[in-house]
């Protein structure tokens, strides 16, 4: 840390690290774990009603596994956030006149080596927790640990690839697809596998609504930063699609969750009670309206859309998870 940061008290340092890790963004990793866990419980209840064997690996919902998965997911997100700040600062993407990042490096509140150390530490502890889960699943049988091993390795590679070096996915317009796959599909499926020990295509389909929205958070950021990112000579989806195309893609990511949730309920993959998520539609409409009213390449009016999309992701994900849990008790 800088000399000023080093002289801070514990509370001030904790607050600074809270800014650095972007604690406000943690729901992006909490929501998929909630949904994957809720769907595992719903599938088990549906099997029980049909007189079939429990789909849960331990015969009951494992709250310890749930807590470990939740913590590991947040730690990996911390790693992503800190690695992103570190490499964006080194590449000149984050500058005093830009909106991106936590700002701790641009403002010199922290030193790059501190941020890098934090990123490595978070990923290391998250990986240790993942190994603990793998070991506990392995005790039930090697076949139950294999799906989680594959998902865990893919997740760690995704963390490292997102903004790592010159080949980082976010610098080549692959950030949104990677976030969709890892913080959406991968985390929902991982939470499901931790409870069941098995892969499920239904869990993949159930992950799609929140996958669209978590990708939407990043895409809102990319659309806002088109001009700044062009100056940094990187390629994002916003730059690749152009202002008009970027806005159309945002609308797709914003409203696809509602369509996909309705389709999943109609196909009986999700219970009808999961359509509680439709109650969040009034939060989505103002975001679409802002993008319609701001057709230019860069505007401070788009600043709130990143936070707004994140809040929508949280509200939508909680309601979808709650509605799925209601399906445990309701025959909908």
Contact (CB, 8 A) for 43 and 35: no
The answer to which of 4-18, 67-81, 196-210 has the lowest mean pLDDT is: 4-18
Give the count of beta carbons closer than 10 Å to the beta carbon of residue 297.
Answer: 17
Query: 241-295 pLDDT, tens per residue?
Result: 988 899 999 999 999 999 999 999 999 999 999 999 999 999 999 999 998 876 6
Report the alpha-carbon distance of residue 88 to residue 229 in Å, rounded.
10
For the chain, the distance separating the N- and C-terminal CA atoms, rounded to the nearest angstrom, is 55
What is the Cα–Cα distance from 299 to 30, expressed in whole angstroms? 30
Alpha-carbon distance of 201 to 294, in angstroms, equals 39
- Is the model's pLDDT at 101 over the cut of 80? no
CA gyration radius for the chain?
A: 20
Cα dist from 197 to 65, 140, 226, whole Å: 12, 9, 42
Q: How high is the pLDDT of residue 261?
A: 98
Beta bridge partners of 130: none
d(CA 173, CA 126): 27
Q: For residue 249, which of 238, 259, 258 has the smallest C-alpha distance?
A: 238
Report the alpha-carbon distance of residue 225 to residue 125 in Å, rounded. 32
pLDDT tens digits along 105-158 = 988 889 999 999 999 999 999 999 999 999 999 999 999 999 999 999 999 999
Predicted confidence at residue 299, as pLDDT, reads: 63
- Please give the pLDDT value at position 141: 93
pLDDT 10s digits, 287-328: 999 988 766 655 677 878 888 999 999 999 999 999 999 998
Residues contacting 122, CB < 8 A, separation 6+: 21, 75, 76, 78, 79, 82
The per-residue pLDDT for 5 is: 56
Q: What pLDDT was estimated at residue 153?
A: 94
Residue 10 has pLDDT above 80, yes or no: no
pLDDT in tens, 145-202: 999 999 999 999 999 999 877 788 988 999 999 999 999 999 999 999 999 999 999 9
Give, in order, the Cα–Cα distances in Å from 99 to each of 120, 170, 274: 25, 16, 36
């Amino acid at each position: 840390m800088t000399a000023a940061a080093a002289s801070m008290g514990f509370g001030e340092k904790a607050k600074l690290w809270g800014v650095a890790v972007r604690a406000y963004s943690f729901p992006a990793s909490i929501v998929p774990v909630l949904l994957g866990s809720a769907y595992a419980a719903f599938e088990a209840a549906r099997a029980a009603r049909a007189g079939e064997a429990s789909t849960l690996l331990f015969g009951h919902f494992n709250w310890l596994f749930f807590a470990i998965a939740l913590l590991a997911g947040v730690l990996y997100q911390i790693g992503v956030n800190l690695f992103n700040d570190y490499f964006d600062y080194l590449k000149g993407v984050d500058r005093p006149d830009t909106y991106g990042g936590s700002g701790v490096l641009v403002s010199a509140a922290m030193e790059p080596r501190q941020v890098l150390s934090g990123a490595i530490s978070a990923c290391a502890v998250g990986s240790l927790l993942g190994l603990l889960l793998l070991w506990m699943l392995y005790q039930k049988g090697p076949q139950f640990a294999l799906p989680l091993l594959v998902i865990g390795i893919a997740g760690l590679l995704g963390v490292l690839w997102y903004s790592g070096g010159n080949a980082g996915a976010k610098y080549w317009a692959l950030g949104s697809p990677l976030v969709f796959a890892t913080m959406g599909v991968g985390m929902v499926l991982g939470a499901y596998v931790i409870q069941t020990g098995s892969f499920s295509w239904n869990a993949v389909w159930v992950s799609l609504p929140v996958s669209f929205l978590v990708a939407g958070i990043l895409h809102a950021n990319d659309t806002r930063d088109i001009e700044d990112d062009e100056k940094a000579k990187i390629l994002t989806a916003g730059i690749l699609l152009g202002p008009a195309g970027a806005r159309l893609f945002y609308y797709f990511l914003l409203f696809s969750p509602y369509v996909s949730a309705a389709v999943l309920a109609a196909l009986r993959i999700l219970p009808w009670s999961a359509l509680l998520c439709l109650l969040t539609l009034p939060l989505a409409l103002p975001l679409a309206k802002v993008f319609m009213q701001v057709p230019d390449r860069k505007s401070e009016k788009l600043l709130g859309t990143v936070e707004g999309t994140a809040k929508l992701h949280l509200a939508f994900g909680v309601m979808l998870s709650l509605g799925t849990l209601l399906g445990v008790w309701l025959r909908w």
